[in-house]
Amino acid sequence: MNILNTPFDTPYNTAPFTKIKDTDFLPAFKFAITEAQSEINAITNTEAQPTFKNTIEALEFTGHQLDRISSIFFNLNSAETSDIIQKIAQEVSPLLSEFSNDITLNKALFKRVKAVYDHKESLDLTVEQQTLLDKKYKGFSRNGANLSEKKKQKLRDIDKQLSQISLKFGENVLAETNNFEMLITNEGELAGLPEGALEAAKQLAESKDKDGWMFTLDYPSYIPFMTYADNRALRKKLAIAAGRKAFKGDALDNQNNVLQIARLRFERAQLLGYKTHAHFVLEERMAKTPQKVEAFLEELLAKAKPAALAEFEELQEFARNKDKINRLEKWDSGYYAEKLKQERFDLDDEKLKPYFKLENVINGAFKVAQKLYGLEFEEITTIDKYHEDVLTYKVTNTVGDLVSIFYADFFPRAGKRNGAWMTSYKPQFIKETTNERPHISIVCNFTKPTKTKPSLLTFNEVTTLFHEFGHALHGMLANTTYPSLSGTSVFWDFVELPSQIFENWCYEKDALELFATHYQTGKVIPMDFVQKIKDSSTFHEGMQTMRQISFGLLDMSWHGADPTAITDVKTHELKVFEDTKLFPDVKENCMSTSFSHIFQGGYSSGYYSYKWAEVLDADAFEFFKEKGIFNKEVATKFMENVLSQGGIEDPMVLYKRFRGKEPQPEALLKRAGLIPIK
């Protein structure tokens, strides 16, 4: 029997990664789909009248094995992929899409679900059961259950195409990232780069049997070069390479994939009776409509643009005076911003990095979670992992009960996509009085230790780790009955609240003292550094905000209107960016062709949610600040009303229960320095 189709005989029911062969996946998927179909048939073939228990609850717990296999496989496809896994993904994705459609377009099943839904007022359901019933009904109605047979088939065809094209989009971006290498053999061209970046580049070159220093498009290599390298021509070369990903007119080009994805999503929305893909998506978000999203982004733009223009003009003047740079280009931004920041605050990442040894920062996140929520983290070696770099932990509460298994994967490698994310290998749910605890993972791309130095993080990487760990806490502390409502299974414009609020502790003296110690001397970070971190936290906030808004507007331009008239991706982008443009355009570059968030990662019509969640997090953290950042009462309210509740109620209801009122954007604007503090 395939190991993936049998109960795992492992500690804490963890995934047996080292025992799974790539060749196990495809047959395991096929078997699990057949099993799940049998479970569906058992629901539809029963002669008993439809009830919440025999229909809605039964449907919720079908396909558990299939979900588990999917989570293992697709997480590996992101964190430890290979040509074989990518090939399997191309085969499996249409099968899963087809099976999903088999469920949502199953007339007999929908008839039973609708029968329960139509009588929901007479049923004595809990709030969570009501939410599950609504979700199951909408899962059918929003996915074509009310369509004619001809239109249902059309929907199936669209979904199959979308799953394949989105996968291809992501594979192209990863291949482009991996394909680029910049080898420098002349040491004089490395002026300005810090010692740690040079050592990492040397080590990377050695690993590929090359002499010199190698730089790539992986963030730990790319960001230091763009921030510190004095050689403007090489910064330009690297920046253009990053911006050209999947925009070269070759086999890895994504322009046609972008156009196809946008058009297919629009066609799908129209088929289901929605004006656009954004109208379809936002029905299930806090924002509700594209108009509200656009109004929100435009309001923020109005507040941020004057600050952004002033910051840009100051940066241009600074570069002109310093190096006679008459026209600031995109490859100058990080470099001169860092120089200006150092001059203004006498603070740079190279001074801070010795205080942020990766192991200490991880322990810092653990200590903050312990002080807030009473969690204990113990590193364990008894569970399997998919790569030797992965760290594994057992998480318990104050009385020693298992809360979660936690995986942490921090370093870049060829089979791993760029960026940082949190995910789950097993959800939390309660079945037959057993509270199944979740298996949560965070994946990042930080600088690896070198021969002479441990992994030392930039402050931006510290906040990234805390951000992903905030997501992880949302998953770990989940305490709901149903897996589809558990943990991070919430509206997408609410899901960033737990992650973004956790970043705030990185700026607080009481939190930094717990972990920010010099990796050689053990001395706590000087408090004047802490003050400078806080003072510099709003540096170029106008430009940063405008950049985020531009991404949100680009997302809405693809999904909030009919895209069928768009024939040229680059021309479309230029038009969208007119109101948010600061730097001259680079003709060789295109954003959309590697904008994985919206074309592969689930953020379509949802990129605005990062700023939306910032409003929530600034307002929520203000509550902590009022009472004390480690105040148990506030932390407990946040845990009980937000972190543990998943998606069992409308997020605004949960938020107001925690905060006592609706969130106010003023908290964010004040924190960002975009409006004065009264």
| Three-class SS of 64-90 | HHHHHHHHHHHHHHHHCCCHHHHHHHH
Residue for token pair 């929003």: 142
Q: Which of 167, 142, 168, 164 is CA-nearest to residue 155?
A: 142
| Residue 574: DSSP 8-state | H
Instruction: Provide mean pLDDT across the span 405-427.
Output: 94
Write the class of the CATH domain 245-323+544-678.
mainly alpha
Whether the per-residue pLDDT at 560 is higher than 60: the answer is: yes
DSSP secondary structure string for all residues of 33-70: HHHHHHHHHHHHH--SPP-IIIIIIHHHTTTHHHHHHH
Structure tokens at 260: 């196809």
245-323+544-678 and 354-537: identical CATH topology: yes
DSSP structural state of residue 456: B
> 405 pairs with which residues across the strands?
394, 439
Please tell me the distance from the alpha carbon of residue 336 to that of residue 316, in angstroms, as a whole number. 9
| 3-class SS of residue 405 | strand
- CATH 1.20.1050.40 applies to domain 3-146: yes
Most confident stretch, 180-184, 284-288, 448-452: 180-184
Per-residue confidence at 677, pLDDT binned at 50, 70, 90? low
The residue to which tokens 């009960």 are assigned? 401
Output the furthest CA–CA distance in the chain (Å, rounded): 82
Number of Cβ within 10 Å of residue 381's Cβ equals: 7
Instruction: Dump pLDDT digits (tens) for 199-251.
Output: 999 999 999 999 999 999 998 899 999 999 999 999 999 999 999 999 999 99
Tokens of 169: 């989009």
- Confidence at 669, pLDDT banded by 50, 70, 90: confident
Phi/psi of residue 358, each to 5°? -50, -50
Closest CA to 12 of 338, 450, 392, 415: 392
| Cβ neighbours of 587 (radius 10 Å) | 9
**Domain residue ranges of the chain, discontinuous segments joined by +:** 3-146, 180-243, 245-323+544-678, 354-537
How far apart (Å, rounded) are the C-alpha atoms in residues 38 and 36? 5
pLDDT tier for residue 673 given thresholds of 50, 70 and 90 = confident
Q: What is the pLDDT of residue 341?
A: 93
CA distance 603 to 609: 9
Is residue 170 within 8 Å of 417, Cβ to Cβ?
yes
| DSSP letters for 481-540 | S-GGGSTT-S-TTTTHHHHHHHHGGGG-HHHHTTT-B-TTT-PBPPHHHHHHHHHHTTTT
Do 59 and 136 meet the contact criterion of CB atoms below 8 Å apart? yes
Confidence band for 35, pLDDT divided at 50, 70 and 90? very high
Rg (the chain; Cα; Å): 25
Nearest to 607 by CA among 170, 163, 278, 271: 278
Alpha carbon distance 376, 580 (integer Å):
45
Q: What is the pLDDT of residue 392?
A: 98
Residue among 85, 134, 271, 204 at smallest CA distance from 650: 134
| Alpha carbon distance 216, 218 (integer Å) | 5
Spot the catalytic one: 267, 294, 311, 468.
468
Give the pair of three-digit tokens for residue 87.
């090939």
Q: Is 20 in a helix, a strand, or coil?
A: coil
- Distance separating alpha carbons of residues 288 and 281, to the nearest angstrom: 8
Q: How far is CA 4 from CA 9, 25, 73, 242, in A?
A: 11, 8, 10, 38
Answer yes or no: is pLDDT of 56 > 90: yes
Residue pLDDT, tens place only, 245-271: 999 999 999 999 999 999 999 999 999
DSSP three-state, residue 673: coil
pLDDT at 678: 56
Nearest to 4 by CA among 98, 59, 73: 73
User: Which of 413, 417, 405, 412 lies closest to 378 in space, CA to CA?
Assistant: 405
pLDDT at 77 over 90: yes
Distance CA 218, CA 200 (A): 12
Q: What is the pTM of this model?
A: 0.83
Please state, in angstroms and rounded to a whole number, the distance separating the CA atoms of residues 568 and 348. Answer: 41
Write down the number of H helices and E strands in the chain.
27, 9
The chain-wide mean pLDDT, for the chain, equals: 95
Residue range 477-508, pLDDT digits in tens: 999 999 999 999 999 889 999 999 999 999 99
Cβ–Cβ < 8 Å for 27, 85: no
H or E segment at 318?
helix 290-323
Predicted local confidence at residue 672, as pLDDT: 86
Residue 535 has what pLDDT?
Answer: 87
218-232, 497-511, 544-558, 598-612: the lowest-pLDDT one: 598-612
Q: How far is CA 562 from CA 81, 114, 307, 595, in A?
A: 35, 32, 33, 19
Round to whole Å and give the CA distance between 316 and 547. 17
Q: What are phi and psi of 517, to 5 degrees?
A: -120, 145
**Spacing of C-alpha 578 from chain mean position:** 27
Closest CA to 84 of 421, 417, 388, 415: 415
Place of tokens 């241009």: 316
Separation of alpha carbons 596 and 558, rounded Å: 13
Please give the Cα distance from 80 to 638 (Å, whole number). Answer: 34
**Annotated catalytic residue 468:** yes
CATH number of 354-537: 1.10.1370.40
User: CA–CA separation, 401 vs 398, rounded Å?
Assistant: 8
